[in-house]
Chain A
Amino acid sequence: MEVLFYIAAAVTFLATLRVITHLHPVHALLYLVVALIALALIFYLLGAQFAAALEIIIYGGAIMVLFIFVVMLLGPLAVEQERAWLTPTAWVGPSILALILLGEVGYLIAVGDHTVSVVAETRQKGISIALYGPYIIGVELASMLLLPGLIGAYHLGRRLSREGR
């Protein structure tokens, strides 16, 4: 099982690297889809089947499709644009931030407490009870956040259809 984890982790890492370095936006997004699927596999190996399935349904299936939908419309000029943007100086900021994280990981490894604690209850029932019990305010806030988005999209669509007539 550990071998499977390392393979999935390597795939996630390489795919994510290509997401950042690939010049073609649609190809980069496809790599992101691969990274998400590999991440779902890691969740599955950790025993969180429910999270793995939701990772693919929501991120891999729905959100990435929307991303690709928008990026698909960019056309062939996007590669040139990306080449112009991806200059060596653009790497400085992210690199510094990543180095800080790397330092933290190194510290954690050095300190020694690196046993992965699998979440006690990762089954659907446990997650649901947690969400609708102690975390109910979070669920309500998220739904409130989604509602303005829904109304906004409805409003935009409505105005466009009236002008189109």
Chain B
Amino acid sequence: MIDWSHTALTIAVILGSCLTLAGMMIWLERRLLGVWQERYGPNRLGPGGCLQSLADMIKIFTKEDWIPPFADKAVFVITPAIVVITALMSFAVVPVAPDFVVADLNVGVLFFLAMSSLAAYSVIIGGWASNNKFAFLGSLRAIAQLLSYEVFMGLSLMGTVLLAGSFNLSDIVEAQRHQWFVIPQFFGFLCFFMAGLAEAHRTPFDMPEAEAELVAGYHSEYSGMKFGMFFVGEYLSILLLSAMTVILFFGGWHGPWLPPAVWFGLKMFGFIVLIILIRATWPRFRFDQLLTFGWKVVMPLALINLLLTGGVVLWKTGASELSMLP
């Protein structure tokens, strides 16, 4: 029997903290970018400026919510919700601590991949429904980029799945009790992290919204809270990327002295700062470089990694497992 109150509480805590953290990350990013560029960033509202996101939210709610007359209205309105919903749905399988997970699915890794592939629709359809050339160019770029990097994302995770012997995220964390998977799966981690950045369309992979070339890419026509949803969705996917990296490669909640959830939070925070640092320091790629890099460098790397991992796992387990074959 499912314990409903426990599940409801877990959902409430995870949803609440995700949305709050996404809001706080907007401030954190602007502040850290400021520090690294030797300026202040938002520092007026609240201690250190940490209430800036609240002010931004009030501003964005009171702005005019304009739907262009030439847009495809129904699709235009639905689109921003897709990115937020898929990102929040993915958090359902994220194990923060032992027994602190909404749905301990047997196919947790695949569920995460499924949600991230559905998230692509928000970008693609958003750009199309805007009926604007710049937005459309953004969504064309997004399709090529997201489809390519989705492939490597799945492939790079399979090494981890092989080592843990399970698609269940809790099992994967449990398998890292003695050694983090980042050591045997270093190339898998590299591929996954790059693919994750590309899926979240973050710098240096933010071609779909390249401000310098495409106005604002796929969300050029969006204003008010609809733009806010895209914005929050991007930060949610950064949060998700850090959470998944920690779970799959950096031992999840494992760590000495501190309680599990704290370790999980600390590791996640480290990756969030790393992602912001990457944005602060790395210029954007050119689009053809992005695709060439993906198919000619990351793809073979992920495949070779998978092949070697499979070979090593087979060598270690020996032929005894194989005798299960009919």
Top 7 nearest A-B pairs by Cβ distance? Answer: A61-B117, A53-B110, A56-B114, A53-B107, A49-B107, A69-B143, A57-B114
**How many residues of chain A are within 8 Å of chain B by beta carbon?**
27
One of A3-11, A26-34, A101-109 at the interface: A26-34
- Looking at chain A's contact residues, the main secondary structure is helix
Known: A30-B125, A61-B113, A124-B167. 15 other contacts (CB 8 A): A26-B75, A26-B128, A53-B111, A54-B110, A57-B110, A57-B114, A57-B154, A61-B114, A65-B117, A65-B120, A65-B143, A65-B146, A65-B147, A132-B325, A134-B326
- Residues of chain B lying within 8 A (CB to CB) of residue A54: 110
Interface status of A100 (Cβ within 8 A of chain B): no
Whether a CB of chain A sits under 8 angstroms from the CB of B77 is no
Q: How far is the CA of A134 from the CA of B111 in the complex (A)?
A: 28
Q: Contacts A30-B125, A68-B124; is A56 near B325 (CB within 8 Å)?
A: no
Find A61's partner among B74, B136, B150, B326 (CB 8 Å cutoff): B150
Closest chain-A Cβ to B255's Cβ sits at a distance in Å of 30
Question: Given A49-B107, A123-B106, are A72 and B118 neighbors across the interface (CB < 8 Å)?
Answer: no
Q: Bound complex: CA of A54 vs CA of B147, how far in Å?
A: 15
Contact with A along B115-140 (1 / 0, CB 8 A): 00110110011001000000010011
Query: Which of A49, A57, A60, A129 is most buried by chain B, counting CB atoms within 10 A of its CB?
Result: A57
Judged by a CB distance under 8 angstroms, whether A94 is at the interface is: no
Inter-chain contact B75/A30, CB cutoff 8 Å: yes
In the complex, what residues of A have CB within 8 A of residue B105's CB?
49
> Are the C-beta atoms of B125 and A68 separated by less than 8 Å?
yes
Verify if A133 is at the interface (C-beta below 8 Å from B). yes
Known A-B contacts A65-B124, A72-B128, A129-B324; A56 and B143 likewise in contact (beta carbons under 8 Å):
no
Shortest distance between the CB of A56 and any CB in chain B (Å) = 4
Binding site for B on A (CB under 8 A): 26-27, 30, 33, 37, 40, 49-50, 52-54, 56-57, 60-62, 65-66, 68-69, 72, 123-124, 129, 132-134
Report yes or no: B118 in contact with A60, Cβ–Cβ below 8 A: yes
In the complex, the chain B residue whose C-beta lies closest to that of A29 is B125
Contacting residue for B150 out of A49, A53, A62, CB 8 A = A62
Contact A56 B106 (CB under 8 A): no
Give the residue of B72, B107, B113, B125 whose beta carbon is less than 8 angstroms from that of A50. Answer: B107
In the assembled complex, 25 residue pairs joining A and B whose CB atoms fall closer than 8 Å, in A order, are: A26-B75, A26-B125, A49-B106, A49-B107, A53-B111, A53-B113, A54-B110, A56-B117, A61-B113, A61-B120, A62-B117, A62-B147, A65-B117, A65-B120, A65-B121, A65-B143, A66-B147, A68-B143, A72-B128, A72-B139, A129-B325, A129-B326, A132-B325, A133-B326, A134-B326
Neighbouring B residues of A69 by C-beta, 8 Å? 124, 140, 143
* Chain A min CB distance to B78 (Å): 9
Please name the residue on chain B nearest to A37 by beta carbon.
B118
Contact for A27 among B75, B120, B121, CB less than 8 A: B75
* Neighbouring B residues of A52 by C-beta, 8 Å: 107
Residues of B within 8 A of A65 (CB): 117, 120-121, 124, 143, 146-147
Distance of A160 from chain B, by nearest CB (Å):
13
A106, chain B: closest CB distance, angstroms: 35
